[in-house]
Amino acid sequence: MITVFERIPEIFVERYDSQFQTWAREFRRRGPKCAIPFDLMPGEIRLLDAGGRKIVKGCWLQAEVDRERPSMPRVVVKPATDHDAEMIERHSRDLRKWMLQ
């Protein structure tokens, strides 16, 4: 079965490939919805909330099996909400900037 990413830039898929692989291996236990915590960009300062706990930025992803072509089913991974899609796009822009430096 192949995996297709919708509304997720390639740079994001490459950066978080290991997390996608872990989710795939643990899919039966974790289910079709998964949180991906974003890595800090170089020079970015870890923010703390009022209680002193780390604030972690990230997004939620949703996986669905597409059996439209029975001979070639595929897993479609996409942002769970429009807000998650915007967070992914914003983080991907930061990744591109960082890689150009």
pLDDT per position as a tens digit, 38-90: 999 888 888 999 999 999 999 999 999 999 998 999 999 999 999 999 999 99
Kindly give, in sequence order, each residue whose CB lies less than 8 Å from that of residue 67, ignoring residues fewer than 6 positions away: 73
pTM of the model: 0.89
Give the pLDDT of residue 89.
98
Give the pLDDT of residue 42.
83
Closest by CA position to 83, among listed 7, 5, 11, 15 = 7
Closest by CA position to 38, among listed 64, 19, 23 = 19
**Spans of all domains in the chain:** 2-100
Residue 101 pLDDT greater than 80, yes or no: no
